[in-house]
Amino acid sequence: MKYAIEILKKEQDLIIEELRKGIDTDNNVKKIAEIKKAIAWLLKLEELNFKKVSEYDILELPNMQTGWSWFRIMNDCETDNREDWIEFKTSGLVEGDFIISHKPL
């Protein structure tokens, strides 16, 4: 990720120089915003030690047509008895949120 981030930062510096010269201001402002967003995502992926994208599944939580509801993550403790299940406490997952998981080996 470091190399990709460095390349984006160099491109950002070149665009900033164009902005200082008044070249293609509107387009360059949009480019800077995109580069900043890309760098932020790459830094987060690096922080989380994500490897190849092919190693992960990404699931978007669907709209279940139940009104405003929360999705809960449970550890089933290898039993079908729901009284033994343990809830993983989160700030709340709702439709449109994403869950990223490692693909099975």
Domains of the chain, by residue range, sit at 1-50, 52-105
pLDDT, tens only, 28-68 = 999 999 999 999 999 999 999 999 999 999 999 999 998 88
- Residue with the bigger pLDDT between 92 and 59: it is 59
* Angle, vertex CA 16, rays to CA 14 and CA 21, nearest 5: 100
pLDDT at res. 91: 82
Taking alpha carbons only, the member of 35, 34, 26 closest to residue 7 is 35
> pTM of the predicted model, to two decimals?
0.77
Percentage, residues of the chain above pLDDT 70: 100
3-7 long-range contacts, Cβ below 8 Å, gap at least 24? 4/42, 5/39, 5/42, 5/43, 5/46
Does residue 69 come out as left (phi exceeding 0), alpha (psi in the -120 to 50 range) or beta?
A: beta
When mean pLDDT is compared across 8-17, 23-32, 76-85, 91-100, the lowest value belongs to: 91-100
